[in-house]
Amino acid sequence: MENRRTGVIKTYKLFVGGKFPRTESGRYLTLEHPRSGKHLASYCQASRKDLRDSVVAARKAQPGWAATSSYLRGQILYRIAEMLESRSTSMASEISNCSGVSLTAAKTEIHATIDRILYYAGWADKYSQVFGSTNPVASSHFNFSTPEPTGIVGVICPDKPPLLALATLVAPAILSGNSTIVLASEKYPLPAITLAEVIANSDVPGGVINLLSGSRCELAPHFANHLDINAIIDGSGDSEITSILKKGSSTNLKRVTIRNMSATAWNGKAGRDPYFIMDSVELKTLWHPVGT
């Protein structure tokens, strides 16, 4: 007699501190296939408490990550691309199923994502020389300006492209030594959460990248108001979310950078901009007496 079994439908969890916890609120959302209406998966609807837990994990990880050599950070980014390459076929199917694009388009996005991570990996040990400077001063001092990590960076992702946009926003933020809290695409979060599985099996220290899924409108005010999130990069393309972030951040003087790009622009030259690195660094100036 044929052995019949029920397939296990995956429940996509959060990614906090290098682990995959369920949301503390117990809330879950479901995702259906855009054409057939078939149930694809359930995923967590993150709460304010989940965000706060992510901040704790990010703050714990950030000093050690910043102290890592820039060369090693570049190598770790390269490792993420290696791991993603090995899962490109299954992830392309996932992107196609959840967002409704063709499998060919999904493969194109995967390849573009891998290339984008490699692109920013190459900047890890170069951006300081390019964006830093030696400044002329009137006194007998050396004066240097060097880019240093801001600290904890909140990243709000757009819906399309769900994976490429995330990589484009996160890679330049972490290569300088920041830790991140990422809110995945609200409509198509599955590829982002699967990317977290890739990250967990790479060499990225736990807490450097924390990934949440859920409602932008619910979580955006908490991103803006939390005093231990030092900067926000908003790629949502949603004017309402942008307004919430700007208004909330005005009370704590948090830097908010808006990256409002079309779905096709993420794949073009605009997405390969080294100035994205400057969204999450601060220029620190050092004075040193000549001759000492």
Q: What is the mean pLDDT of the chain?
A: 91
CA atoms of 175 and 69, how far apart (whole Å): 10
Is the distance from CB of 54 to CB of 62 less than 8 angstroms? no
The percent of residues above 70 in pLDDT, for the chain, comes to 98
In the predicted structure, residue 30 carries a pLDDT above the cut 80: yes
CA atoms of 251 and 218, how far apart (whole Å): 19
Two structure tokens written together for 170: 């996160």
Residue extents of the structural domains in the chain: 48-289
* Mean pLDDT within 89-93: 90
Q: Full-prediction pTM beyond 0.85? A: yes
Residues 6+ apart with CB under 8 A from 265: 271
Is the distance from CB of 188 to CB of 105 less than 8 angstroms? no
For domain 48-289, is the CATH number 3.40.605.10? yes
Cα angle value 272/274/275 (rounded, 5°)? 115
Distance of CA 94 to CAs 102, 115, 210, 266, Å?
11, 19, 21, 19
Collapsed DSSP state (helix, strand, coil) of residue 114 = helix
The CB density around residue 180, as the number of other CB atoms within 10 Å, is 26
Which tens digit of pLDDT belongs to each residue from 190-238? 999 999 999 998 999 999 999 999 999 999 999 999 999 999 999 999 9
Tell me the longest C-alpha to C-alpha distance in the chain.
Answer: 90
CA atoms of 154 and 136, how far apart (whole Å): 35
CA atoms of 220 and 216, how far apart (whole Å): 5
